[in-house]
Every structure is written in structure tokens, then in C-alpha cells.
Amino acid sequence: MHWIDLTIFITYMVVMLGVGFFFMRRNKSKDDYYVGGRSMGSWHIGLSVVATDVGGGFSIGLGGLGFVMGISGSWMLFTGLIGAWLSGAFLIPKVAKLSKKVNLLTFPQIFNQFYGPEVALLAGLISAIGYLGFTSSQILAGAKLASASFVDLGLTQALIIMGVIAVVYTVLGGLKAVIYTDTVQWAILMIGLIFIGLPLAYDAIGGLSAIKASVGPEFLSLTNITWSELVNWAITIIPIWFVGMTLYQRMYAAKGEKQAKKAWFIAGILEWPIMAMMGVLLGLFARVAFDQGMFGELGFPVGSDLDSEMGLPLLLRTVLPVGLMGIMMSAYFSAIMSTADSCLMAASGNIVSDLLSKIVNLKENQVVRISQVITLIIGAAAILIALNLQNVLDLMLLSYSFMVSGLLVPVIGAFFWKKRSTIGAVTAMLGGGLTTVFLNAFEVKLPFELDANFFGILASAVLFVSFSNLFPNKRTVIEEEIETKT
């Protein structure tokens, strides 16, 4: 890599650390550290939401989808738009009303209000494990892409560099640092893609005529997709907007309900069609470049076995000139870091607020420092897992599926179903989550090629309704207040 590109990349990383140092002196309370002082505006939150949600998925997934199926891969993020707008319209008003009364910091605290402390403790444990695994996977993914893009950078060195930088600025600055760096990262990414990546790649492969000559017409169609693929994307992505700790922290960080709803509207539009189309187009361009033999000098001649998700970084490495390569690589890796830092904050919030605070009576002036220590420990654990136990990542990512399929039904029931109960929530969390884990772990062949999450969520719903009817709860005053018209 040319020294100019390396200098640009290093400068970008140093700036990210500087943001963490800047906000370190401004965090005076746990509200400052975990929910940005509840004072953030719509645009900062909206950009942070889309950077977090699309970040790693954009870098890893969309380019690969464009490589293998063309622009129809953009429908994956259409489900993100649906999830954002559904949660913005129906969930945020309920959450905002509850948070105003009890100053929520984490997602599992909602379970405490409706189902009791035992259920909240279980939800916190599930969420913390899920986000620890997800943080590890994001750091590892970024390291793999970095080692593929920078010739002299090994996987271990890349993992340590990216992991340490993401962990340090998150530890120091808390959620404000994460949100503001996400805003910067998203801006760099968009500018890099619109003005550098897309036009240079399009020109390098020979334009539309070269694309048509290289791939079939289905790659330029929005109908190159099966109904089961679309349903599986919806099952996987839409629930995240209702159970993601990273998203609840941003709801709480907003100045008010109006700002949070606007932020979710902004995030939906940015996800689809803007980010979706740019991602799959670059993946499509990478497919054409590969077919033209442009990656031969990099060790991937025509006909070789190329991982579809590696096409995009190889394309950028091939077509970008000195100077622009550093800018584009900074943008590219920022997408992954924006997801990793948010997942790290989520896991830290779960452990401090949902687990540790149940065991130790923490004083207000101790919370920020303890939170920073816990965030550092979790970050170090995530790096060590990615370094030494890469085969464990699949198991830890299963815990993320466990989180989604186990927590979706209870949280919807908490806000929208009067007959919910504690026993119903526990059985739904365990039964739904374990169903998904079992189906994935044993690779059970499922009907209609549906994702295991579909059956996990279905099992969770059946258990929740059945046991809530059999063992109803006595309703609390705050439940009655939350259910009044918002």
C-alpha cells in the first residue's frame, strides 16, 4: 500500500480515537455514558442507526449479494426500511412514554417493568451474550477484509489494530462518542461511495455495455429473487428493530419521541434504496471485474474459487488510485467499526445495568468508571475470542439468533397484549430461542426453505399465548398507564 494511502488511513483512525478522548471528560453520569445525556437530535441518531444497522452487513453482505444475484440483492435492506418504519410508528411511542417515567437505560429494563426482575435478568444475560458474540464477529470480519485489502497486513495484526481502536474510543467516550463517530463514518462512507467508488469502478469495467456482456439480464432485474429469500430476510431483519439493544439506547438518547420517530424515518430511507443500491451495484461491478480477469494479479484469475464477499474489497484495491485508496478504505472499514462499537456498548450496558447492578449497589459517581472498565473487559474478550477461538464464533452467533427469536414475542406482548404474563415471557424466551438454536445446530431441513428464525418465533408466540392464558399476571399501575392512548 502506498505511504499516502497508509497515512490517510492512520489519520482517520487517530481522529476516531480523538473523538473518544473529547467526550471522556464530558461524561458525568450513566445517562451521559449509555444514552448520550438523552439530548441527541434526529439526524445524529438517524445516521448512527443506519451506520450501526447497515455497517457490517453492508460491508460483508450487500457486496456479496450483488456479486451473485445483481441488484435484486437490494431487497434485503427493504426489510430494514419496513422494520424501521414499523418500530418508529408503533414501538417508539410506547417506549418513549415508559422511558419518560422510569429513565430506561437498557432494553431488558422494559422486561423488568412488565414481567419482573427475574425475566429482566434472563433477558439481560441473553442480550449480553448475543452482543459479545456479534462484537467478536464484526471485529473478525473487519480484520479479514483489512488483510485482504492491505497486502502486507496479516490477519492477526489487522484484528488487533481494528479491535483496539474500536474498543478504546468506545470505552473513553460512551454512546456520544459512538453516535458522533457513526455520523462521521457514515458521511465518509457515502462520500467515498458516491464520488469515488461507484464512478471509478463503473469506468474501470467499461460501463453498461460491459456489464450486459458479462452477466445475464437477471442481474439487472429487481425480480431475480424467490419469495422464500424475501421472507427469510424479513424474518431475520425486521425483528432486530424490536429487540436490538443498540436501537433502544438510541431511542433513549433522543431528546423526545418526535426526534426519535424522525430519526427512524431517516434511517429507513437511507437503508433503502440509497445504501442498498450502492452496495449491490459495487458487488455487481466486482462480478464483472472478476469475469474480465481484473483480479488475476491478486491471485484470483477467471474461473478461480473467489468468495463472493471478497469481490468488493478486491475491486476497490484494483481500481482506486493512490490517495483515493486511503480515503475509500477508511470509509469501507468505518462501516464495520460503526457496528462493532455499538454492539460493544450494548453488551456493556446489559452487564452493568441488567446484571452487575442486581448484585452490587453502585453509586452514581462510580457508574461511569465501572462502565468503562466493563466495556474494556468485554472489548478485550471479544478480541481474544476472534483471535484464538474463531470456531466458537458460530456458536456465539447462534446466541444472537437465540436473542432475536426468543425476545421478539415477549417485547411485543409487553406493549400490545394485556394478557401477557411472567411465565408466558420466560417460556417464550427459552422455547423460541432454543428452537432456533436446535434447528440451526443440527441443520434440520425446513419446509419451503424457510429460515430457522421463522419457526423459533412461531414457537415463541405459541408458548407465550398459551402460558400467559394459563398463568396470568396481576396488572400493575405503570402497565395501565403505558397502555393508555399515546
Structural domains in the chain, sorted by start: 3-393 (1.20.1730.10)
Comparing C-alpha atoms, which of 248, 402, 370, 20 is closest to residue 378? 370
The answer to whether the CB of 88 falls within 8 A of the CB of 242 is: no
Residues 310-348 as b/e (b if ≥16 CB within 10 A, e otherwise) read bbbbbbbbbbbeeebbbbbbbbbbbbbbbbbbbbbbbbb
Q: Helices (DSSP H) in 220-275: which residue ranges?
A: 227-237, 240-243, 245-253, 257-269
Query: For residue 3, with 0-12 CB atoms within 10 Å meaning exposed, 13-18 middle and 19 or more buried, which class applies?
Result: exposed
Taking 80 as the threshold, does the pLDDT of residue 185 lie above it?
Answer: no
Predicted pLDDT at 220? 96
Predicted pLDDT at 486? 47
CA–CA dist 406, 215 (Å, integer): 41
Dump pLDDT digits (tens) for 113-142: 999 999 999 998 888 888 888 888 778 777
Taking 60 as the threshold, does the pLDDT of residue 393 lie above it?
Answer: no
Dump pLDDT digits (tens) for 301-317: 998 888 887 888 889 88
| DSSP assignment letter at 472 | P
Q: What angle do CA 180, 183, 185 make, to 5 degrees?
A: 110
Give the whole-number percent of the chain exceeding pLDDT 70. 88
Of 37-41, 332-336, 353-357, the one with minimum mean pLDDT is 332-336
Beta carbons within 8 Å of 99's beta carbon, 6+ residues apart: 251, 252
Taking 80 as the threshold, does the pLDDT of residue 394 lie above it?
Answer: no
Average pLDDT over residues 26-44: 75
- 178, 179, 340 from 246: Cα distances, Å: 11, 11, 11
- 54, 147, 282, 347 from 68: Cα distances, Å: 19, 23, 12, 34
CA–CA dist 106, 374 (Å, integer): 15
Global pTM value: 0.87
Predicted pLDDT at 425? 96
The answer to whether the CB of 236 falls within 8 A of the CB of 453 is: yes
Predicted pLDDT at 407? 94
The pairs formed by 115-120 with CB atoms below 8 angstroms and a separation of 24 or more are 115/410, 115/414, 115/420, 115/421, 115/422, 115/425, 115/426, 115/473, 116/422, 117/358, 118/422, 118/426, 119/410, 119/422, 119/425, 119/426, 119/429, 120/354
Rank 161-170, 232-241, 353-362 by mean pLDDT and report only the highest. Answer: 232-241
The answer to whether the CB of 147 falls within 8 A of the CB of 322 is: no
Dump pLDDT digits (tens) for 470-485: 998 876 555 566 565 5
Mean pLDDT of the chain: 84
Torsion angle of the four alpha carbons 356, 358, 359, 362, in this order, in degrees rounded to the nearest 10: 70
34 or 351, greater pLDDT: 351
Of 55-69, 80-94, 189-203, 234-248, the one with minimum mean pLDDT is 55-69
Predicted pLDDT at 478? 59
Bridge partner list, 254: 40
Average pLDDT over residues 270-299: 92
CA–CA dist 259, 198 (Å, integer): 32
The answer to whether the CB of 265 falls within 8 A of the CB of 85 is: yes
Average pLDDT over residues 50-79: 84
Residue with cell 505511504: 3
Q: For 40, phi and psi rounded to 5 degrees?
A: -85, 145
Q: Give 14's pLDDT tier (boundaries 50, 70, 90).
A: confident
